[in-house]
Structure 1
Amino acid sequence: MRVVIQRVSHASVTINGTCRSAIKEGFLVLLGIEEADGQEDADWLCKKIVNLRVFDDENGVMNKSILEAGGDIIVVSQFTLMASTKKGNRPSYIRAAKHETAIPLYEYFCNELSIALGKQVGTGEFGADMKVELLNNGPVTICMDTKNKE
């Protein structure tokens, strides 16, 4: 699993002109899933995300987690995070998980992240044409891949 985490002042996901999810301060998480991923990858990422200390403390130092800051999270599935650009100019998405693997794992990830956060996370819609709007705060953008845990 691969994620791009953006600390945001606000973010939203709109599908067919209708706002699906919107948050104020928190994280926008873009999630890419490959065939080899499993629940242990989702569990590891959820723990890392909610404990990531990138929110300012009273001294203006990035020292608080989203749990301590009271922020919200939106998770958007993004198969393009699994793109391979080694050959040519057209990305290959062969590493991206097929729907029968990706959808249940995306749903599991969102559910586990909600539990870890202590409140419901916002979502997009798997496979939909989504319009994602955000105001990156910092900017702070963190990339994680469960294949590079060490």
Structure 2
Amino acid sequence: PGGVFHFYREVEGIRQSALGGMWNPVYLNYGIAVHGALNVPLHPASHGCIRIPLTISEEFQDIAFLGDQVFVFDGVKEPEEYGEQPPRFNWPDPDYESTTTTSSTTTTVPESTTTVAPATTAAPATTTAPATTTTTTTEPPASTTTTTTVPATTSTIP
């Protein structure tokens, strides 16, 4: 839409929208932006954006500053005659008729139950010391003598 706007946001690089790619967009009216495009027709052919060649879009953010005024001419009136118009999605519908609907809702809240944890008890005090064990080790004797006795046997060889 025609009118007087201000740049308020810019995005570096490629931004994808529902209507296609935008190179280095600078926004002026909600989703409407001045941005680079692959195809820039010589006649008005847009859903609202202002397309500029890619080579210009690379430098555009350096010369357009946030807060700068933007005058959009729609071919009908001067931009100042419109002022700052919101995009079409914000215009009130002159054919809108209000309807009133009433309804009632009943909600049943279940009875709450509370579980109480059992009381805790303190551990009994210890009154006896634990038993102690003492181990004594003795050294083996320095030398050991072993005596072996073999019983006498008699055998007969046939």
Same fold (TM over 0.5): no
Short-chain TM bin: under 0.3
Q: Which has the larger radius of gyration?
A: 2
Task: Provide the TM-score with structure 2 as the length reference.
Answer: 0.21
Give the structure with the larger strand fraction.
Answer: 1
